[in-house]
Amino acid sequence: MASAKIVPVRTYILTFIALLVLLGVTTGVAYIHLGIGNTVIALVIAFVKMLLVLLFFMHLFYDKGIKRLAFAVGLLWLAILIVLSSADVFTRHWTPVPRGWGPDISLQQGPK
């Protein structure tokens, strides 16, 4: 298979070190209380780690074209799934409950 790029060992080692550093950062930051910032930082770091694995371990940095497109399409559909599912519950408290509609049930009733 002449088309496949042989990635230097150095690239793999650097990717590996970067992943371990990011693991340390994400674990450390979790112990600093930042409110919503904790979740945002954790997800951003996870996303960067995913990109490192995709680009270097899974060779998307070298495999251009259809394989990148394939994965991007997968992520797009996942984003649609998560964003549309969340659109309701994340926006419920943006507007007050109209008079006569009773208390906001969204946060009051859980499974018994």
In the complex with other proteins, which residue's Cβ is closer, 34 or 97? Answer: 34
CB 27 within 8 A of CB 11: no
Interaction between residue 112 and other proteins (CB under 8 A) = yes
Options 25, 54, 61, 62; binder of other proteins; rule CB under 8 A: 54
CB 104 within 8 A of CB 93: yes
- CB 82 → other proteins: shortest distance, Å? 5
What does residue 63 show for φ and ψ, rounded to 5 degrees?
-85, 90
CA distance 29 to 21: 12
In the complex with other proteins, which residue's Cβ is closer, 85 or 97? Answer: 85
Interaction between residue 2 and other proteins (CB under 8 A) = yes
CA distance 97 to 102: 8
> 20 is written with which tokens?
């371990």
Other CB atoms within 10 A of residue 56 CB: 19
| Interface with other proteins (CB under 8 A) | 1-4, 6-7, 9, 12-13, 15-16, 19-20, 23, 26-27, 30-35, 38-39, 42-43, 45-46, 49-50, 53-54, 56-58, 63, 66-67, 70-71, 73-75, 77-78, 81-82, 85-86, 89-90, 106-107, 110-112
